[in-house]
Structure 1
């Protein structure tokens, strides 16, 4: 009931009714997995440099339904951040206007739940843009693959450390590593994690994080 209240409250704050579809009931067994490469790790001050996303339907990754886009930043990216995301200024020369890129992303996502690895960060930084452009934060439910993975690990005690690094999860699930620091590749690898973990996890467990 409280979730419905929050959803309706957010819906009233929507400034662009063309995006009212974000509040539709999601289609069963359809998801979007996404990943953002950013200029830093602070959603309030850093910017999105690229977004990769892919549709998942039932137990299939729909490779014909992918989204891959570069955004033009408002300022030059620094050399230290390039070492992390490997996106060079030349890669962003033909980047899209952020507003246009975010609108395209919202059309791609629709009302589907969003799957990701530490997805709260991605949603937080995307929401910075959506709040500016359409008046609301991204309202979609989210599914965190690292939480799914954690629940599948057998622990000898409640205090046992579980390694939740991306590479560790890939290796333990026998998923091939694609090129790193590429938003679309990261989204595809995360999609494979999700599908494997969905089969390994008890059906009664829910993984929505908002």
Structure 2
């Protein structure tokens, strides 16, 4: 028996749901349009743990950045229906009770709803590799769909654009404190997505002052900065 049953979908997808999946738009590339003209979706996931090969997505929170501002009227929030068995230590972090998971939205519907909300927009996340891997695996298992959207990592953009902060490997709380922001509820997907979007707007302003006017320019600068960080010291 396969010990990792989420790698492939076990039952065929309902034709109506399969049609919705097949109508999802192709993602945009990070191009040369001004940052203010790019729609971004800022994503945060709450999961059953931090193991990217075993744990499950429990909750999805997302907000949009459009026309250089957070669109508070256009947000996505969903708790997925999960049977996680007995309580584990992660409940103490995300606070999602088994009763909430039992009453959640069926994963196929939740993931389809998020992908329709996402559209063709690039994604922003804090520690984006984790969210990208977890979302990719969930989409493959529940929708037989491959995630191809580009991600930019706020946890990497922040120290590149704000070296004076002296925060190289900090968490979200470190940057929230540095910028003097407030969070309604930490480890809540929607609240974390919102404060990540606030940080992103501060960083976009810094980027423009540094001559990085477009998503493509910002992504290129980040790739160069990451290579320098990984280069061995002389």
Decide: shared fold, TM above 0.5: yes
Name the residue aligned to 1:10.
none
Q: Which residue of 2 aligns with 1:23?
A: 26
1:98-177 correspondence runs (5 A): 98-154=107-163, 162-177=168-183
Instruction: State the Cα distance separating 1:75 from its structure 2 match.
Output: 2.8
Q: Is the 8 A contact 2:83 2:102 kept in 1?
A: no
The alignment partner of 2:89 has SS state of helix
- Provide Cα deviations, 1:114-155, integer angstroms capped at 9, x if missing partner: 011011111111111211344333111111111111112336
CA distance in 2, matches of 1:118, 1:151: 14
Q: 65, 83, 88: which one pairs with 1:56?
A: 65
TM-score normalised by length of structure 1: 0.82
How many angstroms apart in 1 are the aligned matches of 2:39 and 2:167?
A: 33
1:177 shift after superposition: 2.1
* SS across alignment from 1:99: helix
Extract structure 1 runs of 4+ deviating beyond 4 A. Answer: none
CA gap of 1:139–1:22, structure 2 versus 1, over 3 A, is farther
Aligned equivalent of 1:207: 219
2-structure distance, mates of 1:85, 1:76: 16
2:80 aligned to which of 71, 76, 90: 71
Structure 1 pair 61–77 and aligned structure 2 pair: CA distance change class (3 A): farther
Cα pair distance change 1:163/1:122, threshold 3 Å: closer
- The number of residue pairs the alignment matches comes to 192
Q: Structure 1 pair 125/77, CA: closer, same or farther in 2 (3 Å)?
A: farther
The offset of 1:77, in angstroms, is 5.0
Identify the residue that residue 11 of structure 1 maps to in structure 2: none
1:182 aligns with 2:188: yes
User: Are positions 1:193 and 2:205 aligned together?
Assistant: no
TM-score (norm 2): 0.74
Assess if the C-alpha contact under 8 Å between 1:145 and 1:194 holds in 2. Answer: yes
Q: Which has the larger radius of gyration?
A: 2
1:22 and 1:140 in contact (8 A); partners too: no
Describe the shift of the 1:125–1:37 C-alpha distance in structure 2 as closer, same or farther (beyond 3 A). same
Unaligned runs of 5+ in 2: 1-17, 224-234
